[in-house]
Amino acid sequence: MMKIYFLFYCCISAYNLDMATKKEYVSADLSLISATPDEIISGSLDDEIRSRMIQTVETEAPILESLLFKRVINSFSLKKVGSRILPVFDRIASTLPFRIEEDCGERVFIKDGNDDSFRPTPDSAVRYSYQIPTEEAASCIISILEREDRTVTKSELSKLFLEELGYERMGAQVEALFRRASKNPRIKRTGNGRFTK
């Protein structure tokens, strides 16, 4: 009897781990300091840049490279990573102790323990829709299908996707995100093209 209960408990636990869940997005709290492009290019700030990258990934992973770089460069009181700074950031990012995957030609930094959660960020000051990793958007779709417990059309799913992520309208960037996510191999479809859990 104990063996049966143990196996049942393990199956339920494994199932829960696979469930896609909604979570709050937490941004890295990087202290603001001043630095010039020349100081960054000189290499004198390499350790500080790496430390800030690690802190950002630890807090916001999975995170796209472009958003990671934006967070860090802004913390140095600079607006963007220009062509002179990019090689420095690229070199340092390549040494980070995180798993790196590819998403539409861009690196995604993932830390151990990242689950199948998704984090709505309708406030563009936090994160734009094009800065959401495709896998995270796919988790949103999976969560919707699990909740609906029925097959849905692409049109129905896109509306639910829009609502779940907190966007008011299906702009071009949100539509592109949905299109990529809906093609994820984790998303199941029936023979007539409807989406199912």
Q: For position 52, what pLDDT does the model report? A: 98
Residues 45 and 91 in one domain: yes
- Cβ pair 106, 66 in contact under 8 A: yes
The count of domains in the chain is 2
CB 59 within 8 A of CB 109: no
- pLDDT tens column, 144-156: 999 999 999 999 9
Give the C-alpha separation, 188 to 197, whole Å. Answer: 6
For helices 154-164 and 172-182, angle between their N-to-C axes, nearest 10 degrees? 120
Instruction: Decide: 60 and 28 in contact? Cβ < 8 Å.
Output: yes
pLDDT tens column, 31-58? 999 999 999 999 999 999 999 999 999 9
Q: Is the pTM of this model over 0.85?
A: yes
The pLDDT tens digits for 82-137 are 999 999 999 999 999 999 999 999 999 999 887 789 999 999 999 999 999 999 99
Q: Are residues 99 and 43 in the same domain?
A: yes
Residue 110's Cβ-side half-sphere holds a number of Cα atoms within 13 Å equal to: 19
In a shared domain, residues 192 and 134: yes
* CA atoms in the 13 A half-sphere facing the CB of 100: 11
> Where is the domain boundary, 54, 75, 110?
110
